[in-house]
Amino acid sequence: MSTRDSYTEEDIRKAIEEVKSGERTASEASKLYNIPRTTLRDKISGKAPVVKKMGPQTYLTEAEENVLVNFIVSAQKRAHPVTKETIMSLVTSLLSDERLLMEVNRNRTFQFGRSRTRQPGNKW
């Protein structure tokens, strides 16, 4: 089992709290909670986030994702088919921030020589 698997988010929070309160040193807390000392120090100093999410960056917030899910579920309850184009159009309207929309378009691949649209592509 790797070191990463041997501590939880709660262990990190407890260790940080104990070090900041002066109850323990970073070395003591890292040994007690089985967290690498440099990892703990980076999280205490703010150099690394306390909780790091794995995987690619998300473009939609959780609230925006919920809007999308609720739209799809309500359309299905009314027996109204939801096409890929409908979903892409809704995502485009949710991505109101021009910077995010440009980033989504920049990261997508071209489909059969189509020019860039202002909507996320198939790979999104």
Distance between CA atoms of residues 97 and 117, nearest Å = 16
Q: Which residues contact 7 (CB under 8 A, 6 or more apart)?
A: 33, 34, 35
User: What's the chain's Rg over C-alpha atoms?
Assistant: 22
pLDDT tens by residue, 60-101: 888 888 989 999 999 999 998 899 888 888 887 877 665 566
User: Regarding predicted confidence, which is higher, 99 or 55?
Assistant: 55
Distance between CA atoms of residues 44 and 36, nearest Å = 12
Token digits of residue 60? 């939609």
Angle at 46 between CA 45 and CA 50, to 5 degrees: 115
Neighbours of 6 (CB within 10 A): 12
pLDDT tens by residue, 6-22: 888 899 999 999 999 99
Judged on CB neighbours under 10 Å (0-12, 13-18, 19+), 48 is middle
